[in-house]
Chains A and B, each alone.
Chain A
């Protein structure tokens, strides 16, 4: 008797009223196994909803779980802590079941070693983080708000600084994740190569440079004293303006006009007299080399008492880091500025503050965003170049 025969026999037995088991036994037996199943199902659901279960995979235990232990969600003065599923598994039944099914992807990943090394995890972190950010953005940070509630915040017990940021957020009913990304795990790190602003600008890079024309660095560009490009002489900041003297293959010899403070070695070059908008930082030897850096007559800045000199710098660089039009840079920067800053507050117009005021203001706020280093530099340069010093309206 094969499987088909067994199935037929089983089916015949099911279709007939039982001849030997009483209705009472069947009903009670069915009822009890139902209860046992229900209990077992919920127990399985609970067990897979514990931190111990999450960290039974080393992908979780060695990466995100370690990072959590440095944060307030692990240890704090009240002794209340968040475990993995508190934040990462929806509490509502339907979405919880959907998330459990989604975990089949994680089982797949664990079996086939998708993230079985630290390097693989770091490479994938941003993608993973973006999934969680999108989820928490869509549901208004529901899992945060299962514990945290604007209505239960005692403004008198908060520091003035906290109230300053939290009150407007409460009025707008802003979701927690909009400002608090990276509160329980490290933020994704991005190298300058993979920066999205650089990627956005790469397509607009000038393919060939013409002699005598002005160009603008769209990414940090390493500069060199000689044509052999052996010893780095410094680095151009984003949006640094150069004038091409000559090109040789993929190298460019350029001239840059800038200002420096006559103090120290004069390594930092600025866009204009008295304005702290950096365009380049030179190595000490290069900054002191009169053949590379020709300085004009010093001029005193009343505000600071410092002497500034205009300098003309002649250096070499690879020719692929420039765009022909600085508006290309400002387009990308303006978009980044408005999307990153407006998630918490109405961002001020760039010309609301002066070139010298922007760095401190920007430094105070940028920690709330997820801008990488290159993006930060680009946006700050954009703000400084469109500040009240460069505008008619203020």
Chain B
């Protein structure tokens, strides 16, 4: 790969758009869901170990 020139601009443009869409539409949503799910799983496991949560009653 060489430095970008006038002729290679469309390929670079396409690559950047693909990366942008892949990141915002697939990778980051999947990470967010995995993060929240992982948090829920940890809380669940803490309930298994420490018993169900208590409330202010």
Contact = CB atoms under 8 A, between A and B. Distances in A.
B27 to A, nearest CB: 9
B55 A140 contact: yes
Given A134-B52, A142-B57, A33 B25 contact: yes
Contacts of A33: 24-25
User: Which of A19, A20, A94, A138 counts the most B-chain CB atoms under 10 A from its CB?
Assistant: A20
Q: How large is the interface on A (under 10, 10 to 19, 20 to 34, 35 or more residues)?
A: 20 to 34
Interface string A167-198: 00000010100000000000000000000000
Contacts of B7: none
Contact of A20 (B16, B36, B47): B16
Given A98-B47, A140-B57, A29 B16 contact: no
Contacts of A58: none
Interface in A194-251: none
Contacts of A34: 24
B18 to A, nearest CB: 8
B54 A138 contact: yes
Contact of A13 (B16, B39, B41, B44): B16
Nearest to B15: A13
Given A95-B53, A138-B53, A139-B53, A30 B24 contact: yes
B4 interface: yes
B15 A138 contact: no
A135 interface: yes
Contacts of A94: 39-40, 43
Interface string B6-25: 00010011011101101111
B49 interface: no
A159 interface: no
Given A13-B19, A14-B23, A97 B40 contact: yes
17 contacts: A10-B19, A14-B19, A19-B4, A19-B16, A26-B20, A29-B20, A30-B24, A37-B28, A94-B39, A97-B40, A98-B44, A101-B43, A139-B53, A139-B54, A140-B57, A142-B55, A142-B57
For the complex of A and B, 10 pairs with smallest distance between CB atoms:
A140-B57, A97-B40, A101-B40, A98-B43, A20-B13, A138-B52, A139-B55, A13-B19, A33-B24, A142-B55
Interface of B: 4, 9, 12-13, 15-17, 19-20, 22-25, 28-29, 32-33, 36-37, 39-41, 43-44, 47, 51-57
Given A20-B16, A90-B53, A101-B43, 11 more contacts: A13-B19, A19-B12, A19-B16, A20-B9, A20-B12, A21-B16, A21-B17, A29-B24, A97-B36, A97-B40, A101-B37
